[in-house]
Amino acid sequence: MTLGSLGNSSSISSSTFLLSGISGLEHMHTWISIPLCFMYLVSILGNCTIVFIIKTERSLHEPMYLFLSMLALIDLGLSLCTLPTVLGIFWVGAREISHDACFAQLFFIHCLSFLESSVLLSMAFDRFVAICRPLHYASILTNTVIGRIGLVSLGRSIALIFPLPFMLKRFSYCGSPVLSHSYCLHQEVMKLACADIKANSIYGMFVIVSTVGIDSLLILFSYSLILRTVLSIASRAERLKAFNTCVSHICAVLLFYTPMIGLSVIHRFGKQVPHLVQVVMGFMYLLFPPVMNPIVYSVKTKQIRDRVTHAFC
């Protein structure tokens, strides 16, 4: 953070926070905005294309693709949540954000992130049933069941994240109001409070364990059962065919959980980590999954790839 930004932070209203771009590279923000704009464009167009293809193509109204459309909608929402503040900073240097706007943004970011974790777990369950219980696939994963899974996932995310803005709103904030990222996160905002944040820290850890922690363990458990079933198939060609149906989902899981866990570790234990590393991990956490998921599923899933090729060629 530059001396100039410190001077500016002392003159802003006590009801606002200061978001950050890339410290020390402010003179290059306009150039850095070019790849960021491209990534946002790819994310928005890619996920809209996935949703449109699945909605209009009746042959894709199957559990796997319905879950994929949920994932695309969530990724679209995540991109739209951060786009105004990120591009505002890198285009025009608009760093100030009011407390209420910040709390609203972090609510949607965390809610959608944990909802994505739930959908990835649902997709793992879909792959488990398809490979381990193929004869019961259609009877287990009906449209009604899929709808209920989606509603339960949404309800869980909202119920767990809903208290966070109110827990932050009760604090007064003093000292430097500068946040490390171009958007608001609960674990960052709470550190600026002039009060004991133990309750927020404990509740935040509870939310992570009860969502990402449990979901990731259940995904691992699902894939252990899938792997056992795949290895029991006599034909090597059939084994490869069965496992290939899981490759896209495995990529999506890695794209989501790896940067999320990395960023959580940095915020809680990496006090000496350079600011640039925090910024890069933050962008990987919120931009990589929305950008890469449509590409991965378009490349690795023949039905999606064929529809995309037909739509644009």
Domain borders along the chain are: 26-305
Q: Considering the domain delimited by 26-305, tell me its CATH architecture.
A: Up-down Bundle (1.20)
pLDDT tens-place string over residues 217-265 = 999 999 999 999 888 887 888 888 888 888 889 999 999 998 888 887 7
Q: What torsion, rounded to 10 degrees, do the Cα atoms 62, 63, 68, 73 define?
A: 90
Question: Residue 178 pairs with which residues in a beta bridge?
Answer: 18
Q: Are 244 and 238 in contact (CB under 8 A)?
A: no
pLDDT at residue number 1: 38
Listed in order, strand segments (DSSP E) in the chain are 16-18, 96-98
Q: Are 105 and 185 in contact (CB under 8 A)?
A: no
pLDDT tens-place string over residues 83-133 = 999 999 998 888 899 999 999 999 999 999 999 999 999 999 999 999 999
Can you give the pTM of this predicted structure?
0.90
Residue 56 identity: T
